[in-house]
Amino acid sequence: MAANLLKHGFSVIVAGHHNRDPIHRLGQLGAVVATSSYEAATQAGVTLLMLPSSTEVENVVLGKDGIIGALTPGSILIDCSTSDPTSTRRLAEVLKDRDIGLVDAPVSRGVQGARDGTLAFFIGGEDKDVEHVMPYLRVMGTDYFRFGPAGTGHTAKILNNMISLSTVAIVAEATELARDSGLDIQAFYDAVMAGNGKSGTIEAFGKRFISRDHSKVNFRIELAAKDLFLSQELAAKTGKPFLVSAAAHQTLQLAQVLGLSKKDISNLAEFWSL
């Protein structure tokens, strides 16, 4: 995402990270490397966060040495994380009191979409803030969906993940049933993709399910479980039953108990072989 901003002429300041390789690469592309998120925020009119959850977002913004002390009036914070909408709305109110805008803009289409600049954004926030940050989002994505005030982008993303992650679980289960039933797995996938079972999830995970190569970690099981827990909380607040996706959530929770928390979600294809 940062590389695409640089490619299109935006000035980018990146904060230090425990994984130095991407920071080094961005520095070579022209980014200014700050020693901390606080230092980076002091120099930015627009600050973008991409973190695992609301816990990390709140720590970075409101915690010890939080960037709230560095953000200037009139600046805007973009949260591209898959965050808890309740936390997002609460944070938006805190920032508003300091004349700082908050736009929640979580993304889909994964690591490849981030590299290619083809992300889809789920956007929430005040109109003036959204309009201000759209030039930044346009060079990182191709599709933009506006939902309403702060928190609505995160709500939409959680429901999107509820669908996609539940589908990953059922595709993994069907894959192992097909394998155990003696089917040629490639032929099975080709047949599914030619019919009503076709989905973006199969396109994204099919090759890894077939090859059983899960060494590359794109999306950890613990983060998938977190996202389905957030959808469970949404259901509880609306009073709606949480049935089908609850089974997927329980599958992910059991995978964590079995020590797969840090593994890629494609490892669910091996779950039935443990």
Phi, psi of 147 (to 5 degrees): -115, -25
Evaluate whether 222 touches 261 at the Cβ level (below 8 Å): yes
pLDDT (tens digit per residue) in 14-33: 987 777 888 999 999 999 99
Listed in sequence order, the residues at least 6 apart from 109 whose beta carbon sits closer than 8 Å to its beta carbon are 118, 119, 120
Listed in sequence order, the residues at least 6 apart from 69 whose beta carbon sits closer than 8 Å to its beta carbon are 38
Q: What is the pLDDT of residue 102?
A: 98
34-43, 109-118, 143-152, 226-235: range with highest mean pLDDT: 143-152
Structure tokens at 249: 């959530």
Structure tokens at 205: 């995970």
pLDDT (tens digit per residue) in 121-164: 999 999 999 999 999 999 999 999 999 999 999 999 999 999 99
What is the spatial distance between Cα 96 and Cα 100, in angstroms, rounded to a whole number?
A: 5
Residues designated as active site: 157
Whole-angstrom CA distances from 156 to 75, 124, 206 are 25, 9, 25
- Interior angle at CA 180, CA 175 and CA 183, nearest 5: 70
What is the spatial distance between Cα 91 and Cα 95, in angstroms, rounded to a whole number?
A: 6
Q: What is the pLDDT of residue 274?
A: 65
Structural domains in the chain, sorted by start: 2-150 (3.40.50.720), 156-273 (1.10.1040.10)
Classify residue 219 by its DSSP letter.
S
Structure tokens at 257: 């108990």
